[in-house]
Structure 1
């Protein structure tokens, strides 16, 4: 099957605009073939405002996202392969979606509670004083 990512990006883009919000695209700037202004890349990522008032000639195709934007007053053609799109969300409230990495992008981490040397479960004794963590969000790079 083809990737669902371009369909989700297009759908969320429309939904964000219909709710009078500003769509932001989170991009892995270190991925192959990504053309973005490198001076604005932070921690290997860049956030791009893709609202109609901020860009010209926006095209969200099945394979990529392309548009022309101004960065520091200088026009630049932006090219982002769909595999480098990490998420799309509304600036005003953060509503949107962050995508899982495609298979082959990075080696999957060792599952929690397993021993990487034996690929088997690791025995862990829990003391009664062990605190449980409250659920929370974290950024995955």
Structure 2
């Protein structure tokens, strides 16, 4: 791979109970474990940041494949749910991606979502490592 851009972030403090910021200071957030994991919930957590990044990246990939196929996505949206849980002796992640594509029949929308899943950098990076479920709706 020949890098076109490199993002840089620094975590300080106690990891999940610390602070993370990007080198350009456009993102600077306090982190806290969610209440469901015994934390205060008074901050963001890595799973939220991953969900935001994956949703945006996948939506961009979806728009790219739709444009290539000359399909109009209309007012589309992509949501990502990232779950963390115990897996073996450590922790694991799973993802549900839900694409809302109001302008296309479900079969055409599903085909585009499958194509986006093949080209999205996040999907490619996670393939074979974590479970990713794709959902498609027109509502």
Question: Normalising by the residue count of structure 1, what TM-score does the alignment of the two structures yield?
Answer: 0.22
Larger radius of gyration: 1
Name the structure with the higher helix share.
2
Question: Normalising by the residue count of structure 2, what TM-score does the alignment of the two structures yield?
Answer: 0.22
